[in-house]
Amino acid sequence: MFRIIVALLILVTVSTYADDKALHDPTTPLKGMSNGAKQTERSDNDLLQLQAVIRGNGRTRAIINGKTCYIADACFGYQVYAIEKSSVILVQEGGKDSIKLSLFSSEGKK
């Protein structure tokens, strides 16, 4: 009888301790990444950041500020002109200005 009471006490203590510790969901997106739904509301003054270049399956694509962009797509007021191994060239609509975004730099270059 004593063993059963001790076992129950240990079980209750362990389960209470486990409930107090918040478990981290491994499928939670990393900071700075999102599904792209909120990204369409960005202003032109925000800094564009190239987060990834994905090559394969027939089409090369770039992830810019969490949004997937293909060559010739309009993204954030620019048209995707070229997607290279580690950079993307964007041309402003109307051809007035261009920006080169690099994977290894935190700032866009004009």
Whether the model clears a pTM of 0.85, i.e. scores above it, the answer is no
Which pLDDT band, with edges at 50, 70 and 90, does 11 fall under? confident
**pLDDT higher than threshold 60 for residue 106:** no
In a domain, 69, yes or no: yes
If one counts the domains in the chain, the total is: 1
State the pLDDT at residue 13: 73
Position 56 scores a pLDDT of 85
Averaged pLDDT, 17-42: 54
pLDDT at residue 32 above 60? Answer: no
User: Does residue 67 sit within a domain?
Assistant: yes
Q: How far apart are CA 100 and CA 83, in angstroms?
A: 10
List the CATH number of the domain containing 56.
Answer: 2.30.30
11 within some domain: no
Q: Is residue 22 part of a domain?
A: no
**Domain span including residue 54:** 38-102
Q: Any bridge partners for residue 61, and if so which?
A: 54, 70
Q: Are strands 98-102 and 87-92 parallel, antiparallel or unpaired?
A: antiparallel
pLDDT, tens digit, 9 for 90 and up, residues 48-96:
999 999 988 888 999 999 999 999 999 888 999 999 999 999 998 777 7
**Gyration radius of the chain's alpha carbons:** 24
* Residue 46 belongs to a domain: yes
